[in-house]
Amino acid sequence: MAVEIASKVKKAAVKFTTQARKDAAHAVLKGEWDLWKACAMKKNANGTFSVKVNIDLGKTYQFGYSIDGNWTPDTDLPLTSSPFESNNSILDLSKATAVKGRKPKTETHATPKSKPAAKKAPVKRAAK
């Protein structure tokens, strides 16, 4: 599971990604930032579900995923008990700030990223 954050003016563009069973058909994201409204997630070819949401900076939010109707927190983030005898994940944007003219990008945990292949300089060949 991963959460990527790119700060904007007073909001963060947050990309939520969660792994699910291969046979999972439907996933939604729900969180405090929009009063727990269901936000449909897209199923990716690798079996993950993802969605990007703009969220206000400067606050801490609880959230979780409903995968085929089963509540699933993001276990890579801190958890807190919910009133429904389950756990919610905590997304902390309380210290995140927008940087004017730049879009800083942070992640909530380390995830391996592949580096783009280095471009080779064109080889000059001698004319025959």
pLDDT at residue 123 greater than cutoff 60: no
Residue 127: the pLDDT is 54
C-alpha distances (whole Å) from 122 to each of 80, 119, 125 are 55, 9, 9
Helix-strand-coil split of the chain, %, nearest 5: 0, 45, 55
Got the DSSP string for 67-97?
ETTEEE--TTS-EEE-TTSSEEEEEE-SS--
What number is the average pLDDT over the span 7-36?
A: 89
- Residue 18's Cβ-side half-sphere holds a number of Cα atoms within 13 Å equal to 27
Domains within the chain, CATH numbers bracketed: 2-100 (2.60.40.10)
Residue 122: the pLDDT is 52
Residue 26: the pLDDT is 96
Write down the pTM of the prediction: 0.70
φ/ψ (deg, to 5) at 33: -60, -25
3-state secondary structure of 36: coil
